[in-house]
Chains A and B, each alone.
Chain A
Amino acid sequence: MTPGLKRELIRTITLVALAMIVGLITHRWSASIVIGLMFWIGPHAREFIRLHRWSRHPLRRPDSTVELWQEPAVRVFRTLRNARGRMRRILTRLRYVRSATEALPDGAILIKRSGAIDMFNAAAQSLLGLSAGDIGKNFVSLVRNPEIAALVNDQVAEGLVEITATHSNLQLEVRRIEIDESRLLILARDVTQLNRLLSMRQDFVANVSHELRTPLTVILGYLESLEDESLDASQLHDLIGRLRPPATRMKILVDDLLLLTRLESSPKPSQTEVELVSVASMLESIVAEARQISNGRHLITVDADPTLRLRGSEFELHSAFSNLVGNAIRYSPDGGDIHVRWYRTDDGPRFEVEDHGMGVPPQHLTRITERFYRVDLSGSRARGGTGLGLAIVKHVLKRHDATLGVVSELDKGSLFFCVFPDSAAAKG
């Protein structure tokens, strides 16, 4: 028995007893019964009205004075409050989960079996062109690629298709996942970049094979001629001499490939490789070599600040700078001046090679650092390039936190420059 009920029982018994005593004393039984009843009903009536008022705002704590009434009201109040607390916690959890799905880079769309859209996240909007009001609309009517219709109807093996999205023009891998009897989950992932990398890799393998096959064919051809027993000593000597250039070419190519692989395999030169490089003296030897190759066709000048030293890998910097100078010679077939400069700027130390040769056509500028990318296929291979020089330069610079820039005009010349971070500079 609750305390309120107990009290009420006591009160009732007391009132009945009082009424009986008054009745016995006064012999006015009806009056005393009526008065007793009024005393009994009074507080209850008042509480009843209070309860009524409370029921309008059941989430406020009830304040009846008669415990009998208060007890059930408090029970209801507490139940309601707990329920509200639970609902709030569930909503918070829901919001939390939703923010996680919103952050997903993949598009997620929940659709009913009828095909109607139930929910989707922000990525789904941008990848597939859905908009906020599309809830309830048929998914396949909005994303109309025929492969998607087949996917939703479960007519596709492995529940996976690849499409080009109409609205975003991206290549998407779209997957179908069964949730339960009433719903399907559609996941869309952007694989444009991945596809690009895969095709770049295929191209690279094809290019390398081709570049190596050409000199190999030449060597094999000469080897066949060497089998001719009627050759005399000087003819033999001649043929053997001819074997050297294609073999050298293959070696240079393989060396460049290995260097490139090494450069790509770690983000920065290791501690043991980093030293204070005297760029000015490095450039002196690079230019001396260049003058030999040029053989008088070009006027090559060098203007390098001997006090400006650079923190980095001597080997890699040598490769990068000599590649750039080599290109300048290679792409100025008709001679012209080549200027090599090394000096301080506000942005940091700067290396430049300026030539007055063929220049680079503007549409190729963004692609020249790609491996094996050639502007003019037949010409540059004849010039002895491997097609890997600028890729090597790009990677060396990246490993030294430097940037590569090009200014070029067709038939006028080019300026290739590298800007290193200020922090890499040192006085020497």
Chain B
Amino acid sequence: MHQLSRHISEQYDAELEIVRRRLMEMGGMVEQQLRDAIRAMSTYDAELAAKVSVRDHEVNRFEVTLDEQCIHIIARRQPTATDLRLLVTIMKSSTDLERIGDEANRIAKMARELSKLDYQKNSNVETGRLGQLATTMVSRALDALARLDTKEALDLIAADKQVDEEYRAVIQQLANSMTKDPDAVERDLHLIWVARALERIGDHAKNISEYVLYLVEGKDIRHLPKGTFGTLPPEDA
């Protein structure tokens, strides 16, 4: 775990601390949205789903103000090195968090649609595990960012594979279900959207982990073929 250095100007320190905390606050909000959306899906709770959609506006506003605050700091303090990377990380992470919020909103919308169907509601295809994986990825990514934990970040980048695998399995099951039970196609189509949203959430969590590595090590590992970055685990670990 690393510590960010302190500055002679306490004011500057305080400003950086504020934006760091606001990012975590946004993270907490998004985690809650995701939890609520998934619960609305499993309990067919249209009211909860509506709450998620309303809250999404707050999440979007948060991203805008957070980015503004970061830009102000950059303009006023002209930061370099770690500080600059920190601000860049915060701005990029806020974008990924906002997207996660959007996906959660999409899941909530699907929950509303599903609650309108009646007997067809209960599918044999379980999206619960995919939901659990996605939720865990987001929490772990935010933890890694809060603790500047590069080991956890690396583990997460590898863990995204699990999410992709589960996603493919769920899609396959849904495809089978649609051919076997054509009356329930509407329901299965909604579930496909949900699975897609969850898989995307996993990807955004992975992005945040990549930013942690960037912030701590100063290396940009995005889009590198696997194995180029020395500390990544081997392909079939």
Contacts and interface: CB of A to CB of B under 8 A. Distances in A.
Interface string B1-34: 1000000000000000100110011011101100
A133 B35 CA distance: 27
A167 B136 CA distance: 8
A146 B28 contact: yes
Contacts of B24: 138, 140-141, 144
B139 A166 contact: yes
Contact of B146 (A142, A146, A149, A166): A142
Given A133-B1, A133-B147, A167-B139, A140 B32 contact: no
Nearest to B30: A144
Given A140-B21, A141-B24, A146 B139 contact: no
B142 interface: yes
Contacts of A144: 24-25, 27-28, 31, 142
Interface string A150-189: 0000000000000010110000000000000000000000
A134 B139 CA distance: 16
B89 to A, nearest CB: 14
B45 interface: no
Interface string A111-144: 0000100000000000001010110011011101
A192 to B, nearest CB: 16
A129 B140 CA distance: 11
B143 interface: yes
B32 A146 contact: yes
A356 B1 CA distance: 63
Contact of B21 (A131, A133, A138, A148): A138
Contacts of B29: 146
A148 B147 CA distance: 18
A134 B144 CA distance: 12
Nearest to B3: A136
A171 to B, nearest CB: 13
Contact of B28 (A129, A131, A137, A149): A149
Interface string B124-165: 000000000000000100110011000000000000000000
B146 A145 contact: no
A146 B147 CA distance: 19
Contacts of A138: 17, 20-21, 24, 146
B139 A137 contact: no
A141 B18 CA distance: 11
Contacts of B28: 140, 144-146, 148-149
Contacts of B31: 144-145, 166
Q: Which of B27, B31, B32 has the most CB of A within 10 A?
A: B32
Q: What's the interface size class on B, roughly? A: 10 to 19
B35 A164 contact: yes
Contacts, number: 44
Nearest to B23: A141
A140 B147 contact: no
A385 to B, nearest CB: 25
Interface in B22-69: 24-25, 27-29, 31-32, 35
Contacts of A167: 139
A144 B20 CA distance: 13
Nearest to A163: B32
Interface in A303-337: none
A141 B20 contact: yes
B35 A140 contact: no
Contacts of B147: 131, 133-134, 137, 142
Interface string A198-215: 000000000000000000
Given A146-B28, A146-B29, A166-B31, A141 B139 contact: no
Nearest to B25: A149
Interface in B93-151: 139, 142-143, 146-147
Contacts of B1: 133
Contacts of A166: 31, 139
Nearest to A167: B139
A140 B25 CA distance: 8
Nearest to A133: B1
Contacts of A140: 21, 24-25, 28
A141 B32 contact: no
Given A144-B24, A144-B28, A137 B35 contact: no
Contacts of A146: 25, 28-29, 32
Interface string A370-405: 000000000000000000000000000000000000
A97 to B, nearest CB: 28
A115 B17 CA distance: 11
B157 to A, nearest CB: 20
Nearest to B132: A169
A428 to B, nearest CB: 54
Interface in A233-281: none
A164 B35 CA distance: 10
Interface of B: 1, 17, 20-21, 24-25, 27-29, 31-32, 35, 139, 142-143, 146-147
Q: Return the 5 tightest CB-CB contacts between A and B, nearest first.
A: A144-B28, A141-B24, A141-B146, A166-B139, A146-B28
22 contacts: A115-B21, A131-B147, A137-B146, A138-B146, A140-B21, A140-B24, A140-B25, A141-B21, A142-B143, A142-B146, A144-B25, A144-B28, A145-B28, A145-B32, A146-B25, A146-B28, A146-B29, A146-B32, A148-B28, A149-B25, A149-B28, A167-B139
